[in-house]
Amino acid sequence: MRYIGGKNLLLENINNVINDEIPNVSSVIDLFAGSGVVSNNFKSIGYRTISNDFLYFSYVISRASIKLNQKPSFKKLGISNPIKYLNDLAIADTEYSVSDCFIYNNYSPVGDCKRMYFQPENAIKIDVVRLTIEKWYKGNLITEDEYFYLLASLINAVPFVANITGVYAAYLKFWDERTYKTLEFTPPAIISNGKKNEYAVLSTCLKYSGRAM
């Protein structure tokens, strides 16, 4: 994910500090998880990982990549590869119309809207996929784990076609080359470390910080 403040380049240093200062630690709390790159690093090493952030997108990502230790089965849905299904989905394949598409009507330059966050084709794709995931969940066709797994896939894909510098406070006044790419979903990477990993609100994390891990 393209994310201002991402700590990909700091992971080795973070790991070295833990190994040097607290080598026997077994659990870690990532208090400001953001895109989840640090939490996933901790989980892959084998720590029991607790991930937290006030931002809902971060909660969704952590709910999928940190909590889950295996890929959901989607047994009730009856679609063997829901990620591929969503990649191939077009608005013509659904009961939705462009009037149902919030992102399309408010964040792409169509009609009276002048915002250039997304090319119209990708904006419609975001809407159709989001509406479909919600329909499956409300129809009891997917579990809560499966719901957040699919939402995380959508959230992770969107920045790669967004016409932004890294946050959505403003859009570029010209179309960046990446915006012409077709929105493509990939399965969230699920690391199994055999631990009861958690996503948590801040108050829960503070509770953990007051006792030995």
Residue with tokens 């590869």, as numbered in its chain: 81
Q: What is the pLDDT of residues 7-46, one digit of tens each?
A: 878 889 999 999 999 988 999 999 888 888 999 999 999 9
Name beta bridge partners: 198. 50
What is the DSSP annotation of the chain? ---TT--GGGHHHHHHHHHHH-TT--EEEETT-TTSHHHHHHHHHT-EEEEE-SSHHHHHHHHHHTT-SS----TTTT-S-HHHHHHH--GGGSS--GGG-HHHHHHSS-TT----SS-HHHHHHHHHHHHHHHHHHHTTSS-HHHHHHHHHHHHHHGGGT--SSSSTT---SS--GGGGSPP---PPP----SS--EEE-HHHHHHHHTS--
Q: What is the pLDDT of residue 2?
A: 63
Cα(145)–Cα(61) distance, rounded to whole angstroms?
11
Q: Pick from 165, 153, 130: which is nearest to 68 by CA?
A: 153
Contact of 134 with 77, CB cutoff 8 Å:
no
Contact of 150 with 142, CB cutoff 8 Å:
yes
Q: What percent of the chain has pLDDT over 90?
A: 73
Name beta bridge partners: 83. none
* Domains of the chain by start residue, with CATH: 1-70+190-213 (3.40.50.150), 72-188 (no CATH)
Q: State the average pLDDT for the chain.
A: 90
Give the lowest-confidence range in 103-112, 129-138, 145-154, 190-199.
190-199
Taken in order 205, 207, 209, 213, the sign of the CA dihedral is negative
Q: Pick from 117, 155, 166: which is nearest to 6 by CA?
A: 166
Backbone angles phi, psi at 117, to 5 degrees: -75, -40
Q: What is the pLDDT of residues 170-189, one digit of tens each?
A: 999 999 999 999 999 999 88
Count Cβ neighbours within 10 Å for each residue of 67-76 and write b for 16 or more, e otherwise: bbeeebebee
